[in-house]
Amino acid sequence: MTRTEASATTPDVSVVAKLSTLDRYLAVWILLAMAVGLGLGRVVPGLNDALAKVEIGGISLPIALGLLVMMYPVLAKVRYDRLDAVTGDRKLMISSLVINWVLGPAVMFALAWIFLPDLPEYRTGLIVVGLARCIAMVIIWNDLACGDREAAAVLVALNSVFQVLAFGLLGWFYLDLLPGRLGLGDGEHLDISMWKIALNVVVFLGVPLVAGFLTRRIGERKLGRERYETGFLPRIGPWALYGLLFTIVILFALQGRTITSQPLDVARIALPLLVYFAVMWFGTFALGKAIGLAYDRTATLAFTAAGNNFELAIAVAIATFGVTSGQALSGVVGPLIEVPVLVALVYVSLAWRRRFTAARPGS
């Protein structure tokens, strides 16, 4: 991104005022991108089908391209020689694991049953969204909120490992075992291979992570750290936003007709999602502050807890239940709600940053 690297020692100056015009009006650009995507999907005949066919192994190539362009500049900013300081922060690491892989899925399971007891397909789709922890867009939200880039890289990588190992198991637990044990009716079987999840992780995190790491190592070797960070990074920074906007346009163009043709169903699905994002973000932010984390790591913890891997959730729902299923619609509504909500939370986070820093003058 192109924001000015503001020093945390000047809390009396508004962080938002230091953002570039491109970043300052991020919410406007994202809303426009969503509107353009929905409009294209609605008015261009066959566009969603044409875009859906451009894939390999179930991975959408346009979305993969957008995410790669989006994540690469941010991951090229990470100082990889500082990752040890993150992995040594036991409070951060343990909190992230518990929130993402114990509390997050449980919260979504509870909200899905509370808000959608009469709509089993949408309910199942929401539970799948809750199981798919974020490994991509959270990098952008964290960077915009002045979170800890190194911590974000570590937590996202940790989520990726657990996603490969635990997604199928948690799917069986929340969709099959638990509903039966609680007397909520027959369970659902989630048909997704570990290989498909691993491929999703490699494409949406592995490729940009390797590219960012190699860029940092080679760039510092040839230019030195100062020239690399003050000369090269500002040039590639805006491409993160371009990639984000491109991804949003493609995503909503793929599902524009579905979303706009079922507004009442979208509204039913949106309500528990709104509650979910609020509970996860505000609850985690409060936890980070309570256990003594600095602002940057608290913000990182909150955004990694609130975000979800929409691409994986949609792919699993379509592969298991079909492209026209209610489960797939729930997956599609996920980013429709998540994107504007997390953009709003970026501004909330920045507004709280001054008070947070002032409360810890020695931090």
Model confidence band, residue 156 (pLDDT cutoffs 50, 70, 90): confident
Class of domain 16-358: mainly alpha
Higher pLDDT, 239 or 60: 239
Place 6 in a pLDDT band, splitting at 50, 70 and 90.
very low
Q: Which residue has the higher pLDDT, 47 or 281?
A: 281
pTM for the structure as a whole: 0.78
Which residues contact residue 310 at a Cβ distance below 8 angstroms, ignoring those fewer than 6 apart?
A: 129, 132, 137, 251, 331, 334, 335, 338
Q: Which of 329, 327, 196, 314 is nearest to 261 (CA)?
A: 329
pLDDT given for residue 313 in this prediction: 81
- The tokens for 62 are 């346009």
Domain residue spans in the chain?
16-358
Q: 14-60, pLDDT tens digit by residue?
A: 444 555 566 667 778 888 888 898 888 888 877 767 776 777 766 67
Strands 55-56 and 59-60: antiparallel
Q: Convert 295-346 into a string of H (helix), E (strand) and C (coil).
A: HHHHHHHHHHHHCECHHHHHHHHHHHHCCCCHHHHHHHHHHHHHHHHHHHHH
Q: How far is CA 10 from the centre of its chain?
A: 29
